[in-house]
Amino acid sequence: MDKSVALVRDNFLEAKKILDEFLFDTENLEKISKAGKVMVNALKKGNKIISCGNGGSMCDAMHFAEELTGRFKDNRKPIAAISISDASHISCVGNDYGYEQVFSRYITAIGKPGDVLLAISTSGNSGNILKGIESAKNKKMKVVGLTGKDGGKMEGLCDVEIRAPKSKYSDRAQEIHIKVIHSLIDFIEKFLK
């Protein structure tokens, strides 16, 4: 087999191994269900979901929100969700208060008791995510965290923490996160009716 083909195959095999490890731990499935119930209960009460992350995790946070306000699988009413991804907000707050405040100030501005924060950090140690969680807790919001490795500082701070199996790089955690996100969106669509 050509070395380049073997490299591609090995990437997929490693991704499959991590996915299988995650899938066959039923605690992970129970946590996704619990997180889905937290989100559906909030939405049924007229609350919203705010999502945030850095880099690829910001893209995941945006994808989560747009699938809810737009559509995922079924035609339905838009669902109240927003990601903290406005470049002008992020650059303004980053410049005036520091990058660690970009999520917390947004949550403080628009978060309400009963809302849910979906906080995504592959390391679990992102300073701005941790400050965002603190602001969400101060607002009496529920927090669902998507983490990787050992959960980092986010361990124990979230109402529900869903952790990708430990891997050397963040790509494998991000692959699990997007699958969890799609599962949560599907859960919301099925149970919000």
Is the dihedral angle over the CA atoms 9, 15, 19, 20 positive or is it negative? positive
Q: What is the pLDDT of residue 74?
A: 84
For 3-191, CATH number? 3.40.50.10490
140-172, pLDDT tens digit by residue?
A: 999 999 999 999 999 999 999 999 988 888 999
15-33, pLDDT tens digit by residue?
A: 999 999 999 999 999 999 9
47-92, pLDDT tens digit by residue?
A: 999 999 999 999 999 999 999 999 999 899 999 999 999 999 999 9
Q: What is the pLDDT of residue 107?
A: 98
CB neighbourhood size of 151 (10 A): 21
With a CB cutoff of 8 Å and minimum separation 6, the contacts of 155 are 124, 147, 161
Nearest residue to 130 (alpha-carbon basis) of 168, 156, 95, 165: 156
Chain centroid offset of residue 188 CA? 14
